[in-house]
Amino acid sequence: MIIDTHVHLTRPGFVRSRFLHNHSRMAASLYNRLHKTNITPEDYVSKVRERVDPDGTKLIAEMDDAGVDMSVIFQVDWAYGVTGEPKVSNREQNKLLADYAKEHPGRFIPLCAIDPRRPDVIEQATEAIEEWGMKGFKLMPSAGFKPNDRICYPLYEKCAEWRVPIVFHSGGLEFNWELSSPNLIATAAEDHPDVKMVMAHAGLESWEQCRLACTALPNCYMDLSIRQFDYGINPKKFYGWLRDMIDWTGPEKIMFASDAPLPTYYLPTKEWVDVFRNPKTDIEFSEREIEWILGKSAEAVFLTR
């Protein structure tokens, strides 16, 4: 089984233009670096809008084409701390994703995106898990909070009770990314050993912190979303980096992920799957290691309580 553990289902009204335009400068720069093009931030925003998927049919088609059996889907709660509520409120977005997963049984694992500082966070979280059947949470510390801030702990305690995982954005260069340090996530994981905590993007530039946390703490994991850029720039270095990560943490702590739809501009999901399924390198990866990275690690985190 192949599970993509980091997918955004983009629908009209989910994201405010303010966020898109703030994000577009860096994203356009990365795209140009990889493809040796010269698109503008405005061009990039247009590309994002092309990816709007009102009924989810694009996502299913791309999964089928790539051989992806299941996707972990969620949005990002920028609304409370950064942008204000978009046309479709954060709560409504979570409900839409929960309903979408029910419409396509066996294909999606929906997570509730929420800011733990919301005054009604426990009420919304309870509704998402107990009434809508969502399977965990996506937290974006860069919206203005530290993962080890005590204001987050009531939500973590409920996650331990429900036995559901949390995916955290980790690392980065803008939007208060310093709040997403793997070290801060690791502190929260130490304080809540019964909650599985996933560091999305393997910590980006802070990957060594992520590697150490996933090695030392039984409940810390990483996903490989956005690492398409590393592969595209230098495949040899990417495979060396991946070998190092496996040697430290074991493949059980590493999960395939795309962060679709945006990084699919860098490398389509089908090609990203093939990077692991058919490694183009002299570095050795066992069948067991690839099997865990492509799906079994995700099964252990998201499908096992």
Cβ(283)–Cβ(240) below 8 Å: yes
Residue 127 has pLDDT above 90, yes or no: yes
Residue 200 has pLDDT above 60, yes or no: yes
Residue 51 has pLDDT above 60, yes or no: yes
**CA nearest neighbour of 14 among 265, 261, 263, 270:** 261
Q: Which helix (H) or strand (E) holds 137?
A: strand 137-139
Q: What mean pLDDT comes out for the span 277-296? A: 97
**In CATH, what number is assigned to the domain containing residue 8?**
3.20.20.140
Instruction: Write down the pLDDT at residue 12.
Output: 75
Q: How many domains does the chain have?
A: 1
CA distances from 305 to 75, 152, 236, 283 (A): 23, 22, 37, 34
Domain with 28, as residue range(s), is: 3-302
Instruction: Write down the pLDDT at residue 265.
Output: 75
Cβ(115)–Cβ(77) below 8 Å: yes
Q: Does the reported pTM lie above 0.85?
A: yes
Instruction: Write down the pLDDT at residue 11.
Output: 78
Sheet containing 220-223: which strands, arranged edge to edge? 112-113, 137-139, 166-169, 197-200, 220-223, 254-255
pLDDT in tens, 5-48: 999 987 777 765 555 555 667 677 777 776 677 878 777 666 66
Beta bridge partners of 113: 138
Cβ(88)–Cβ(24) below 8 Å: no
**CA nearest neighbour of 54 among 96, 98, 102, 21:** 96
